[in-house]
């Protein structure tokens, strides 16, 4: 089973700042990585699939990069609605599909 490790666990930033979230896979998953955003009491929302493709309706300030074992989600300029928990998810070697433990982006 592929383990995804996200860092940092918590990111404290102010609106307008750039957020950089990391996800590392325990073995190569090519570009088969997705990112989700989850707000309290809500279901996750797909942001990025296959490492760098924005899902429908996702603003351009969200971007993804990486391949192999190291991946990054970047939010270029944080909006108030972007403070949430972010999960990465791999489909490079499934089943099982696995998720990272999450990174919380909180207001500084």
Partner 1 sequence: QVQLVESGGGLVKPGGSLRLSCAASGFTFNDYYMTWIRQAPGKGLEWVSYISSSGGTIYYADSVKGRFTISRDNVKNSLSLQMNNLRAEDTAVYYCARDRNEIVPTSTFDYWGQGTLVTVSS
Tell me which of 24, 45, 61, 104 binds partner 1, using CB under 8 A.
Answer: 45
Buried b (16+ CB within 10 A) or exposed e, 11-45: bebeeeeebebbbbbeeebebbbbbbbeeeeeebe
Token pair 């971007």 is found at: 63
Minimum CB distance to partner 1, residue 14 (Å): 26
Q: Which of residues 59-88 bind partner 1 (CB under 8 A)?
A: 87
5 contributes a contact to partner 1 by CB under 8 A = no
Residue ranges in contact with partner 1 by CB under 8 A:
34, 36, 42-46, 49-50, 55-56, 87, 89, 91, 94-102
């Amino acid at each position: 089973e592929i383990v995804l490790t996200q860092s940092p666990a918590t990111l404290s930033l102010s609106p307008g700042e750039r957020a950089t979230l990391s996800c590392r896979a325990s073995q190569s998953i090519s570009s088969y990585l997705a990112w989700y955003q989850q707000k309290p009491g809500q279901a996750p929302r797909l942001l990025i699939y296959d490492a760098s493709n924005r899902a429908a309706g996702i603003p351009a300030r969200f971007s993804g990069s990486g391949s192999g074992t190291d991946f990054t989600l970047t939010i270029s300029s944080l909006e108030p609605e972007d403070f949430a928990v972010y999960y990465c998810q791999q489909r490079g070697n499934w089943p099982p599909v696995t998720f990272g433990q999450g990174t919380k982006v909180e207001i500084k």
